Chains A and B, each alone.
Chain A
Amino acid sequence: MNVKELPITRSGVIPLLIIVQAIVLLPLWFFIPSWISATTIAILLGKYYMYRQGVHAPRWILLVVVLLCVGGVFLQFKTLNGRDAGIGLISLMYAFKLLEARSYRDASLILFISFFIVVTAFFYSEAIWMGVYLLIAVLAILLGLVALNSPQGAQGIGSLGKLSGVTLLQAIPIMVLLFFFFPRSSTPLWSMPTDTQAGSGIDDTMSPGSIGALHTFDDIAFRVDFDGEVPARSEMYWRGLVLSEFDGFTWFKDQHSPIRQELDLPMTQTYQYRIQMEPNNRNWIFGLEDLAEAPDGAYLFSDFTWNRRRQTTQRFIYSATAYDIDFSQKPLSELQLDRYLQLPTGSNEDTREWAQEQRQNHPSNEAFIRWILSYIHQNEFYYTLSPPVIEIDSVDGFWFDSQQGYCEHYAGAFVYIMRAAGIPARVVTGYQGAEYNPYGDYYIVRQSDAHAWTEVWLDGEGWRRIDPTAAIHPSRVEEDLRGDASSRDGWMEEFGADVGFEAPEGLLQNLALRWDAIQSFWSETVMGYSQDMQFGWLRKLGIERHQYRYLGYGLLATIILAGLIFGYFVLRSAQRLEPVTKHYLLLLKKLEKLGIPCDRTMGPKDVLQVTRATSQKTYAKAAPALKTYIALRYQQEAIDSTMLKRFKQQVSRV
């Protein structure tokens, strides 16, 4: 019985194929253009209709529709390459293959292709649910294969499902082995094209309202895993960008070049950490102040920020060290002084004049800074997410009229005043604070933690971080923001109080943190299992990088070993044969070797006759054995041991 010759129209096979295709395509339908999704759904439904009607689509119609669809994909994407066009095209062709499937070969091709197409869903999402879903999809494909190779088709789907489930379970050890040992490439297997839609985060410009807008996003910006000591939350200033150009309304990042030589500044290591950054489609990455050595794939710029060459379109994991850098030995150059004192002319004149006036009363830089901060503290400055809109002269409008703003208002105004008073200053944007996840022992930084603060240059000390929002009187902080503000670095001790980390409260928050811990494990350890990680733990096993190729040999040896073990079991089951059976099979083999055309489907009498017809000489030798066999097997119920002995002797004589 050859299953390959059975029609695939037998019960349930085609509906099962349709279901498998639907399961495989389902995640893609949410991402590919809707007309492609609709076409594939229509094809699957159409195939079901044709199956019920017992008809086939004429080949020429198929050809025309396929060509139309290829044209459609080309018009949509202007190419047939790349992720979106490729997956669009492949899902259409996949569905069309079902339309023309008529034989076992077609059906098995569809199922084996399914194993590859199922992976394409990872191009769009690497989340856990996708992994779980794809496992279910693999189970469905296996079920399809089992049903396709069952003579009864999909009948008894329960036992078929059990068989495919068991198969999947049996594959798990191999899967784990390959996951850990299969040599990884240093670059991802597939490179994801830029997806400009997704990802939010801090931009390289700052105008009133731009950071406040992020406060509503609960999305995770990155997760941090500290190695060893952990800083206080009020010290967690995650530096991203330095903005130093001001046009009267918006702050811009200015051009810096990467520092290529070794830093010659005296510095001490403070903290070690690992960041798992979510894609944000931007070049800059974040680090705990002060930033120095850039992680792999990024550069340190002269304003002590990190930039990557490419945008972060996939989850990016990097390790870094925080330093305490002593800038005091290296005064600012003329060029830098110009840059950090630059102010646009013809706007915000009131603030500039006010600052210069006040400067007369506080000749020392430090005293002036302290006075400005206490000015903010004592006057009616409010910290709010919904400040009045200021159309022009953003600093004047904020400082004298509204006195309400979010961190970007304070940071912008503070730097403006410092510069007006002749103190070099700049705006720094990034994130401040973090949420501790006790279940995974790491910290979560969200988009809502986005923050802007400032740095001023003090001769003899260097850059000093000043967070003007910390100076606002707590009573004038909007209730929603009180938590944020209270955790900030109070330069003036009286304003800042480290509230520490409270244990998570409430079931929902607990669950959320646990879920995040699982997600973090998934994306860092499973999806993010890279060549480096592999090298890392292989080294622990004593396999060095240069011994990597032995891994391949090891895998090969494992496969051979498995084959040998399998062979051993097969042999052992052969050895357990009854002695009569064993010797009769031996006899048949001998006869076959002697050129007697006999096989296992022939009875012993037929073998006897064939032997006589073929060779008298062999017949003379084999006949006694065959006759004894007949007597042993068919003339009496119980096996006579003396007869068995005779049979063995007779067989050995052949």
Chain B
Amino acid sequence: MNSPILPVLEQLNKVVLGKPFQVKLAVVCLLAKGHLLIEDLPGMGKTTLGQAMAKVFGLDFQRIQFTSDILPADIVGANIFDREKSAFEFHPGPVFSQLVLADEINRATPKAQSALLEAMEEQQVTVEGKTYELPHPFFVIATQNPTHQIGTYPLPESQLDRFLFKINLGYPDPALEKVLLKGESGRTKMPSLESLLDLETLEGLQKSVSDLTVTEHLLQYVMDLILATRQSPDFAHGLSPRAGLAIVSAAKAWAFVDGRDYVLPEDIQQVFVSAARHRLQSVKTSSASTIELIEALVKDVPVPA
């Protein structure tokens, strides 16, 4: 079942070695019509993943390198005076692309960051009173350096909420890294990737994902988890209803990738940490990281029988 997705994963795993879970999450994110935030150190293959996804899904791809002096106009585009027509003409920025890789998003100033994040939320861009629709599908993969690094502007919580998932890639497995060092993977293989899907197929997949069966019983489990985050003393505040929606649609996509037409509690468990970790703030009373706290919380909440 789902023959279109399995080869996609296969292809991607050839480029991004030893990260099947993260690759699956990235694909799930795209199918659930969400945006992806990857946080990691430079050189862990964030850009590679983005480029590979664009290529495999057959989307047009633009990359925006965020720097501290980037301006909103550099992202969304600007009206430029055309001498021949003696009129202002809108020159779309790199955001007008189906897959946008926003690299090192937290190195830009908040003003530039919010330009992109607004585009993500509204699916449209407004320049000087005129509104321009963004292409469909519109998928943003943003990468950011760990916030403790020098020269970063952490994204505010309200903007973090726009991302469906936040994932880490992490160091590759030593054996696989050796393969990488031999030059047999990574970007070197990029040109050999084929585009496996077209736009229509992708939209069809996205539609069937949203049609998946979600029973009352499963929603009860989601509610239990969300309520647990609200009651837990470990977090400054609990998950929002928007987070709940994100979790449900992500779980649907996960179930779809797994080849099922119904959602199980396991799907929720698989996507919960990635969907919740950037939306929750630990009150830092224990040494455990936010991820560990969320994992413990999932372990604590029984699945409704």
- A residues within 8 Å of B by Cβ? 1, 3, 5-7, 10, 151-152, 580-581, 584-585, 588, 599-606, 630, 633-637
Known contacts A1-B231, A601-B300, A602-B303; is-contact A637 B216 (Cβ 8 Å)? yes
Smallest beta-carbon distance B218→chain A, Å: 6
B302–A600 CB distance below 8 A: yes
Chain B residues in 8 Å Cβ range of A606:
266
A1–B300 CB distance below 8 A: yes
Known contacts A604-B265, A606-B266; is-contact A588 B305 (Cβ 8 Å)? yes
From B263, B285, B302, contact of A601 by CB (8 A): B302
Distance of A427 Cα from B206 Cα, bound (Å):
113
Closest 7 CB pairs of A and B: A603-B265, A600-B302, A603-B266, A151-B233, A581-B305, A635-B262, A584-B305
Chain B residues in 8 Å Cβ range of A6:
233, 285
Smallest beta-carbon distance A8→chain B, Å: 11
Q: Is B298 an interface residue (CB 8 A)?
A: yes
Chain A residues in 8 Å Cβ range of B265:
603-605, 634
Specify which of B213, B217, B298, B305 lies most central, judged by the most chain A CB atoms within 10 Å of its CB. B305
Distance of A606 Cα from B269 Cα, bound (Å):
11
Chain A residues in 8 Å Cβ range of B264:
603-605, 630, 634
Distance of A1 Cα from B269 Cα, bound (Å):
18
Q: Is B299 an interface residue (CB 8 A)?
A: yes
Chain B residues in 8 Å Cβ range of A151:
231-233
- B residues within 8 Å of A by Cβ? 213, 215-218, 228, 231-234, 262-266, 268-269, 285-286, 298-305
Known contacts A585-B305, A601-B300, A603-B266; is-contact A634 B218 (Cβ 8 Å)? yes
Chain A residues in 8 Å Cβ range of B217:
633-634
Known contacts A1-B233, A151-B233, A601-B299; is-contact A634 B213 (Cβ 8 Å)? yes
Question: Which of chain A's residues has its CB closest to B232's CB?
Answer: A1
Question: Which of chain B's residues has its CB closest to A602's CB?
Answer: B303
Distance of A603 Cα from B300 Cα, bound (Å):
13
A600–B303 CB distance below 8 A: yes
B263–A634 CB distance below 8 A: yes
B262–A601 CB distance below 8 A: no
Known contacts A1-B300, A603-B264; is-contact A635 B305 (Cβ 8 Å)? no
From B228, B285, B305, contact of A600 by CB (8 A): B305
A601–B213 CB distance below 8 A: no
Smallest beta-carbon distance B114→chain A, Å: 33
Distance of A588 Cα from B233 Cα, bound (Å):
30
A603–B303 CB distance below 8 A: yes
Chain A residues in 8 Å Cβ range of B300:
1, 601
Chain B residues in 8 Å Cβ range of A599:
302
Known contacts A581-B305, A601-B303; is-contact A635 B213 (Cβ 8 Å)? yes
Question: Which of chain A's residues has its CB closest to B297's CB?
Answer: A1
Distance of A588 Cα from B303 Cα, bound (Å):
12
Chain B residues in 8 Å Cβ range of A3:
233
Distance of A637 Cα from B217 Cα, bound (Å):
8
Known contacts A585-B305, A600-B303; is-contact A636 B215 (Cβ 8 Å)? yes
Smallest beta-carbon distance A587→chain B, Å: 9
Known contacts A603-B269, A603-B303; is-contact A7 B215 (Cβ 8 Å)? no
Smallest beta-carbon distance B267→chain A, Å: 8
Chain B residues in 8 Å Cβ range of A635:
213, 215, 262
Distance of A630 Cα from B263 Cα, bound (Å):
10
Distance of A600 Cα from B298 Cα, bound (Å):
11
Distance of A5 Cα from B285 Cα, bound (Å):
10
